[in-house]
Structure 1
Amino acid sequence: MTATQRRGRKIMMTPGELDEFLTGQRTCRVATVSADGAPHVSTLWFAWDGTSMWLYSVVRTKRWADLRRDPRVAVVVDTGEEYGELRGVELSGTVEFVGDIPRTGELCAELDVPETLFARKNFGLEEMPHDGRHAWMRLTPSKTVSWDFRKLGSL
C-alpha cells in the first residue's frame, strides 16, 4: 500500500496527473545504498505501467550490485527550469528482479507490457531489442511524493 503524502497537498499531482507525467517522461534518477552505506545516484530510462516503474539496467553496474545486495531504492523523475514550472515525483520502496538476468529475450509474460511500453517510448519499436547486458527491475512504490509548482499560480 502506498503511503499518503502529507505535506504539499496543494501542489501534489492527482492520480491522473501522476500517471500522465510518468508515462510521458523518459529519464529517472535512481538512488541506491552502497556497500559502505553511502548513497549512489545514477540515471536510467524507465517505463511506467500505471502501477509500477520498470527499470532496465545494465547488470554490470554499481547500481545493479547495490540493489542486489540491498533492494531499497528511491527514484526521482522531474522536469522544469523556472521555479513555477517545477514538477516531479519521488517513488520509493523495494525493487524486485523480473525475468532472466541478463535479459536475452526468453518468454516471460510478466515482461510483455513493460517491454512493449519501453520499446515504443525509447526506441520507437514494437518489440524490445535484447543485448544480453541488461535486466529488469520492478518498483511498485510503497511511498509516492509528487509536486507541481505550476499549481502555485492558481492558489
Structure 2
Amino acid sequence: MASGKRDKIKMSPEEIAAFLDESFKVQVATIGKDGEPHLVTMFYALLEGRIAFTTYRSSQKVLNLRRDPTMTCLVEDGVQYSELRGVALYGTGRIVEDMDELMKVGVVVGSRMAGLPVPKVGEPVDPAFAEGVRQAMSKRVLVVMEPDRIVSWDHAKA
C-alpha cells in the first residue's frame, strides 16, 4: 500500500483508544519453543488503557511469555473491505499475579462471559459474583500488553 494511502487510513490515538474500548476480543500471538507463532483469541478488558486478559497460569501462552515476552495483539472488525478496521500492537506481554489486578479484569471479562451487564474496570459488582470470579482467578494470571509499536487502519476513511 502506498505511503499516502496508508497515512489516510491510519487511526488517530483517540480513534485507537475508542476502538479498543468498544471491542472485547483480541487475537494474541506469542512465540512457541520452536519459534513458531502460537495464536489464540481471548476476551480482554482495558487496564489503564492497555489490553489485559486473564489466562490459566499453566497455559501455553504463559509458558511462551515466560520464555520470551514478545507478544503481538490484533483487534479487528469489519466484513466488507471498506469496513475493515484494526489495531495491531507489537511489544511484550507482562505477567501479573496480583489478585487485585486480576480481579479488575476478571470481573469485566467474567460479566461479559456470563451475559451480565459489563462494568467498567474497577466498578463495584455483586459480592457473590465477585467471590465466584475470585475463586476462578486463583488458577489464573493476568497478561498485560505493553506495546512498543502500534499500527492501525480504518478503510472507511479511504
TM category (shorter chain) comes to: 0.7 to 0.9
2: CA distance, partners of 1:62 / 1:116 = 23
Which amino acid in 2 is paired with 1:135?
Answer: V
Q: Number of matched residues?
A: 140
Greater helix proportion:
2
Describe the superposition over 1:27-75 as per-residue Cα deviations: whole angstroms up to 9, x where unpaired.
Answer: 1111111101111111111112353111211223211211111111001
Closer, same or farther in 2 for the Cα pair 1:122/1:22, shift >3 Å? farther
The secondary structure found in structure 2 opposite 1:56 is strand
Structure 1 stretch displaced more, 43-52 or 118-127: 118-127
Runs of 4+ in 1 over 6 A off after TM superposition: none
* Percent pairwise identity: 30
Aligned to 2:31: 33
SS in 2 for 1:10: helix
The TM-score normalised by the length of structure 1 is: 0.78
Corresponding position of 1:150:
156
Contact 1:19 1:50 in 2 (8 A): no
Paired position in structure 1 for 2:49: 51
**2:136 is equivalent to residue 138 of structure 1:** no
- Residue of structure 2 in register with 1:3 after alignment: none
What do residues 79-110 of structure 1 show as CA deviations (whole Å, max 9, x unaligned)?
1111000001001111111124xxxxx4x3x4
SS at match of 2:6: coil
Rounded to whole Å, the distance in 1 between the matches of 2:69 and 2:47 is 20
| Amino acid in structure 2 at the alignment position of 1:82 | Q
Question: In terms of mean alpha carbon deviation, does 112-121 or 52-61 score higher?
Answer: 112-121
CA RMSD in angstroms, aligned pairs only? 2.3
Q: 2:7 aligns with which of 6, 9, 16?
A: 9
Counterparts of 1:37 and 1:65 in 2: how far apart (Å)? Answer: 13
Aligned to 1:81: 79
SS at match of 2:15: helix
1 CA distance for matches of 2:156 and 2:5?
17
TM-score normalised according to structure 2 size? 0.77
7-16 or 77-86: bigger deviation: 7-16
Instruction: Using the TM superposition, give the Cα deviation of residue 17 of structure 1 relative to its aligned residue in structure 2, in angstroms.
Output: 1.3
Query: For 1:15-26, what aligned pairs fall within 5 Å after superposition?
Result: 15-26=13-24
